[in-house]
Chain A
């Protein structure tokens, strides 16, 4: 009896997009909520410009079911994916903790503990942050779609390959630079931190800062040099998550009996991994795009701490049948 993946797994990719959109829209909403709070605190509705009055009215309508006193009540959700406060629970990116330790050369435990939940989740689900939460991923994946359209329109798009281990080097160099300068410089080259911050600068402080230029450069790099190149080859956070997720429990695995070697999984994988040859590695972010596209339901989640070794060609594919044919013919010769 062949194992079959749960039907739910095929729909996780849509759920992932819902999650990305929720995170991204929260990052856009929060600066507006902050502006609304300051307007309330200033008691100056009559003095606001018309645009600010519109913001005030919209936010008042949105938040009125949840809080009586917006100036205080809306303080429960603040921050971004780099570090945020969620109903009294402070959550931080593991990279922010690691880079802060590097910058300060001391361990400040109350802050280290804020990364506990993300680290535990990463130990279980691997690099899931990159696929499911990261606000930069949202823009990078849209950018990939843009690249696909550009490619269809005949424009040149980049698809070069580099060494995936480059990002570990960048993580190391970033931490060393942080230690030398005594400042958390990694935050300046880490797209999710940049996106969260720059959205806040752009909306609430009236203009984007220096990080936005860096982010646009990474978008262009992805478009013109390497598909999803920043996440694959350069991102220091991705490197840290990959290391933490090396022995992750929840893995996507190939079911060799139902695989037909169509290689759609390899084509769709944003991180350029090789599901077809059971080569997921620590980089897989459990985005489930390969599960969603597999025509024969040959990919599923399994609970184990290492990948299977290469299982050979899928049993529904030509290659396997040819080998089987060869094997049976050699057997017949042996019998003769």
Chain B
């Protein structure tokens, strides 16, 4: 976190507290920030109640995609882990679930079927007006970035992406999208 960002956060959270303390303390999401929880995380309310803010999930993440909230998402999620897939997406290595002492992130073996069953970070959605393939220029980057290609996403004519129901929402497609802003994005599933 840059210092400026930190100060902004501080001021934002202070004002949020001042404007609506009840909302800030009950853990409702204050900002419309779109974030993911680490793979295998419990549903949002359970996750926040279970997580003890120890920071081991971030410390074990080989991809450095797990960051920690300051006060910008309400007091309840202070110091809890999150992922912004456009910055750095999850590679589904499942190390964070193994190390989590409270199983707020449930341990999931690094195998396809358990990951499909237990990981619900979100679901990818394609914006066809932004997508190169849908606009007539063959691209297919999201399909090639997907660790579950042909299971979570398949491509049709001109490599137009179709997201399937089994998408777990790791965000690698959003990270890889060469359009700016990204044409494919993860809609988080907070459970």
Contact = CB atoms under 8 A, between A and B. Distances in A.
Nearest to B56: A79
Given A183-B27, A210-B9, A197 B99 contact: no
Contacts of A83: 52, 54, 56, 101
A31 B80 CA distance: 17
B75 A78 contact: no
A182 B54 contact: no
Interface stretch (B42-50, B116-124, B161-169, B183-191): B42-50
B30 interface: no
Given A181-B76, A182-B45, A205 B67 contact: yes
A30 B99 CA distance: 15
B79 A197 contact: yes
Contact of B68 (A75, A78, A185, A209): A209
B99 A78 contact: yes
B10 interface: yes
Contacts of A99: 52
Given A182-B45, A205-B68, A197 B56 contact: no
Nearest to A90: B101
Task: Among B26, B55, B58, B67, find the residue whose CB has the most chain A CB atoms closer than 10 A.
Answer: B55
Given A183-B78, A200-B58, A204-B59, A85 B99 contact: yes
Interface string A8-34: 000000000000000000000011001
B52 A187 contact: yes
Contact of B27 (A182, A187, A197, A200): A182
B59 A79 contact: yes
A184 interface: yes
Contacts of B101: 79, 83, 85, 90, 92, 111, 114
Interface in B77-108: 77-80, 95, 99, 101-103
B64 A78 contact: no
A13 B61 CA distance: 38
Contact of A209 (B1, B60, B63, B102): B1
Interface string B113-142: 000000000000000000000000000000
A207 B4 CA distance: 11
A99 B6 CA distance: 27
Task: Among B5, B49, B51, B99, find the residue whose CB has the most chain A CB atoms closer than 10 A.
Answer: B49
B27 A181 contact: yes
Given A92-B101, A188-B79, A209 B70 contact: yes
A183 B49 contact: yes
B53 A38 contact: no
Nearest to A183: B76
A206 B58 CA distance: 13
A31 B25 contact: no
Contacts of B68: 197, 201, 205, 209
A100 B78 CA distance: 14
Given A182-B49, A210-B10, A79 B55 contact: yes
A82 interface: yes
A104 B47 CA distance: 9
Interface string A77-108: 01110111100001010001001100111001
Interface string B1-38: 11101100110010000000000011100000000000
A149 to B, nearest CB: 30
Contacts of B55: 79-80, 196-197, 200-201
Given A183-B76, A206-B2, A210-B9, A100 B102 contact: yes
B71 interface: yes
A38 B27 contact: no
B62 A71 contact: yes
15 contacts: A75-B60, A78-B60, A80-B54, A85-B99, A100-B49, A181-B27, A183-B48, A183-B51, A184-B53, A187-B52, A188-B53, A196-B54, A200-B58, A201-B68, A209-B6
- Nearest 8 A-B pairs (CB), nearest first? A183-B76, A83-B54, A41-B62, A207-B1, A104-B49, A187-B53, A79-B56, A111-B102
Given A38-B63, A110-B103, A185-B78, 15 more contacts: A37-B62, A38-B62, A42-B62, A78-B56, A79-B54, A114-B101, A182-B45, A183-B75, A185-B75, A187-B53, A193-B53, A196-B55, A200-B59, A208-B1, A211-B79
